[in-house]
Homo-oligomer: A and B are copies of this chain.
């Protein structure tokens, strides 16, 4: 992140704002809780970030059918920002991969996924919210960048 964060800063977003936008740009819409779990952000942090991104018109918040829920969507501008920065993000993953070698890299990502999944299970005692990803291109359910 030491390498990627400066690029994010030039683009006007912080590290966590980036993770939020990235996650949102991959789906249509989510409620805040889903989003928080998807990217491992606590609700207090997410609240602040969404409030900020909302004012800057990068995301859009609205009430759900269940009016406790806050439905969030990335706006056009938000998605455009992600499109613009994604290549720089990919570049960092390739850097990590080349530092370890493809084989070790994939093994590391897999082991980390396994660890996160298993630890999550008995944290919440059963209600595993961590979904499997059969996609071999997936680099883990919690992309750092």
Name A residues whose Cβ lies closer than 8 Å to a Cβ of B.
Answer: 2, 96, 99-100, 104, 107-108, 111-112, 114-115, 118-119, 122-123
Contact = CB atoms under 8 A, between A and B. Distances in A.
Contact of A111 (B2, B111, B119, B123): B111
A96 to B, nearest CB: 7
A111 B100 contact: yes
Nearest to A107: B111
A9 B104 CA distance: 37
How many copies of the polypeptide does the oligomer hold?
2
Given A99-B115, A111-B111, A115-B96, A2 B104 contact: no
B112 A99 contact: no
Contact of A99 (B100, B107, B118): B118
7 contacts: A99-B119, A99-B122, A100-B115, A100-B118, A104-B111, A107-B111, A108-B115
A104 B108 contact: no
Nearest to A121: B99
Contacts of A2: 123
Q: What 3 pairs across the A-B complex have the smallest Cβ distances?
A: A99-B118, A108-B111, A100-B115
